[in-house]
Structure 1
Amino acid sequence: MFGQQNVPPGAGASGPDLANTGTVIASYANYAGAQRAVDYLSDNEFPVQNSAIVGADLRMVESVLGRLTASKAAASGAASGAWFGLMIGLFLGIFAVRAHGWLWLVLMGLIWGTAAGALFGWLGYRAMGGQRDFVSTSQIVASRYDVMVRPDLAERARNLVGRLDL
């Protein structure tokens, strides 16, 4: 294939595969701590292109926000449909010859979009057959974040990061 490179699994598109070959110089309980360490390395003219922040012990956390009912599904669909209908109405309004024709197109797009969105939201809820009657968000979190660098630069990086909390 054109433009493809042989990249080992886990390797980024360019640069060294530090997640597999790097040396851990510091570990942090949150991403902000690891980011602060790399920023400190950068501020002290360390070649940060030879570093990586690697999340360890990943897990998916789904936070349940509340119960989903048919009316909530329809309302959510109506809100999404209203935005879509408004966008279509505004787009078609560009081609309207008369000023009141433009307003009519925007208003009709909004109304039809809201109605269609409510209908599809309600139908989607009914199609699930009560299988998932809740709303949630998901995110991937790590138990720790390791700052890793090329092994030949590890001692220098460790010394710099050691001064960070002084």
Structure 2
Amino acid sequence: MDKPAKRPADLDLDFPQSLAVYDTYDEAQRAVDHLSDNEFPVENLMIVGTDLKRIERVTGRLTWGRVALAGAITGLWFGVFVGLVFALWVEDGGVVGILLSTALFGALFGVVWALTGYAATRGRRDFSSVTAVVATRYEVLVEHKHREAARTILAATPGLLPDPYA
């Protein structure tokens, strides 16, 4: 049986209780900022993102040509970097030659590496994308002994406590 991951000690509260739940991180941050502005000991608070979702945004179709071009560009930049490192130890005149040769070798290596990786997918993933994990709700937790003081401060300002807590 797997053990739950242990959080670092600075991410724990002794007896956290829910203060409020918000739809956006900005709303939760605004509530904590308001508490801070009112001299509340904010080190007794925690914002927790809940109901996590993995979102993948498809950015385009992959073709052999696009994969080769992306590999060449990536390899070219890596080759220039390696060339600059080597150029630190080269005396007069050889810097340009080293930069050109490492850039070309890097581009060639990048193309081969990218096409090999693309071929290994065997057409199962012919698109590019970016992914992110986002929370759909943000809960502000407070140390139990400070809950009522925090609620009193938030309740005094309209809009800082969500409807179920008003």
> Which TM-score band (shorter chain)?
0.7 to 0.9
Aligned to 2:8: 13
Q: Flag structure 1 segments of 5+ consecutive residues without an equivalent.
A: 1-7
Aligned to 1:54: 48
Listed one character per residue, the Cα deviations across residues 43-95 of structure 1 (whole Å, up to 9, x for unaligned) are: 22222221111112111111111111111111111111111101100000011
For 1:24 and 1:33, locate their aligned partners in 2 and report how far apart those are by CA, in whole Å. Answer: 15
Q: Does 1:158 align with 2:155?
A: no
Q: Does 1:141 align with 2:138?
A: no
For 1:16 and 1:84, locate their aligned partners in 2 and report how far apart those are by CA, in whole Å. Answer: 38
Are residues 164 and 49 of structure 1, via their aligned partners in 2, closer, same or farther at CA, if it must alter by over 3 Å?
farther
Aligned to 1:4: none
Equivalent residue runs for 1:31-46 within 5 Å:
31-46=25-40
Partner-residue secondary structure (3-state), 2:125? coil
Are residues 12 and 157 of structure 1, via their aligned partners in 2, closer, same or farther at CA, if it must alter by over 3 Å?
farther
Q: CA deviation at 1:40?
A: 2.1
Q: Flag structure 2 segments of 5+ consecutive residues without an equivalent.
A: 161-166
Listed one character per residue, the Cα deviations across residues 116-143 of structure 1 (whole Å, up to 9, x for unaligned) are: 1112111111111001111111111122
Partner-residue secondary structure (3-state), 1:132? coil
User: How large is the RMSD of aligned CA atoms in angstroms?
Assistant: 2.1
Q: Percent identity?
A: 40
Contact 1:37–1:164 (8 Å) recurs in 2: no
Aligned to 2:24: 30
Contact 1:28–1:34 (8 Å) recurs in 2: yes
TM-score (norm 2): 0.84
Partner-residue secondary structure (3-state), 1:96? coil
Partner-residue secondary structure (3-state), 2:9? coil
TM-score (norm 1): 0.84
Aligned to 1:76: 70
Equivalent residue runs for 1:87-166 within 5 Å:
87-98=81-92, 100-162=93-155, 163=157, 165=159
